[in-house]
Structure 1
């Protein structure tokens, strides 16, 4: 992942989080302590997603909260309820092959967007690790994508 760089325009808290994760080799930052507005303090599992830019072809790192289903990881393209999908999700649509780092483990994955019953089931799981997703869904007209990252290889 050495040729990858942090995605541009990340909010400061995400930059701080990703830098701590990277500089520690994954021993810090994989359990992210946060107190979102309207919620108490919680610890949320976080991974680093490396995508290939759909326009630039460059590799970008995004820190994201995640859940697990079987051997796969779940991430949610909420962008805080913004009207448009986050850049990392648009990158995955163009280039579904990606890499993740979960704590100190690095692996290659292939992304797929869920739908129907699978999406409903995994959305409920996502609300378990990050309840504010429900608030984000109320703020936007788009269906927030729930993405599964399946191990590749």
Structure 2
């Protein structure tokens, strides 16, 4: 059976975006990882992980996403908007739409408000080199993508 891909079709989706089952799996795994982080366990595949709290850019609803983080200067953390196929992940669009409502939860700690800043130029290049050295798998993913992964510095407010 061939499905009609008109924009009004319930099953239609943009090329390069995850399907219904993929989204369900991601939501299930994110909820499980968030529980682990809140219980004080913040490692996944050898990476430090935090919970990024944002607000949906269209819905206005709270969103909690586990994201790998890398140390930066002082108390700041670096995160990378990898994943999401050919588009930036939804959490990135939410973060950019409502930066004033962003917070993070480190393993076993309460949420702390953060100010996000997308790194550009030499700042991004320098941060990316450190991130890629710490996690070569991210560099591998980046090499297969048609977009440059944004690198965001999260500074506590």
Q: Among 18, 24, 31, which residue is 1:15 paired with?
A: 31
Q: Choose between structure 1 and 2: higher strand proportion.
A: 1
For the pair shown, the structure with the greater C-alpha radius of gyration is: 2
Q: What TM-score, normalized by structure 2, do the two folds share?
A: 0.76
* Deviant stretches of 4+, over 3 Å: 11-15
Aligned-pair CA distance for 1:11: 5.4
Matches for 1:45-64 after TM superposition, within 5 Å: 45-64=48-67
- The equivalent residue for 2:140 is 135
Distance in 1 of aligned mates of 2:134 and 2:30 = 18
Structure 2 portions without partners, runs of 5+? 1-22
Q: What TM-score, normalized by structure 1, do the two folds share?
A: 0.78
Distance in 1 of aligned mates of 2:63 and 2:70 = 21
- Kindly tell me the number of residue pairs found equivalent between the two proteins: 131
Q: Choose between structure 1 and 2: higher helix proportion.
A: 2
Q: Deviations over 1:46-71 (max 9, x none)?
A: 10000011000011000011011112
Distance in 1 of aligned mates of 2:36 and 2:156 = 25
Tell me how large the CA RMSD over aligned residues is.
1.7
Structure 1 portions without partners, runs of 5+? 1-7, 35-42
- The equivalent residue for 1:123 is 128
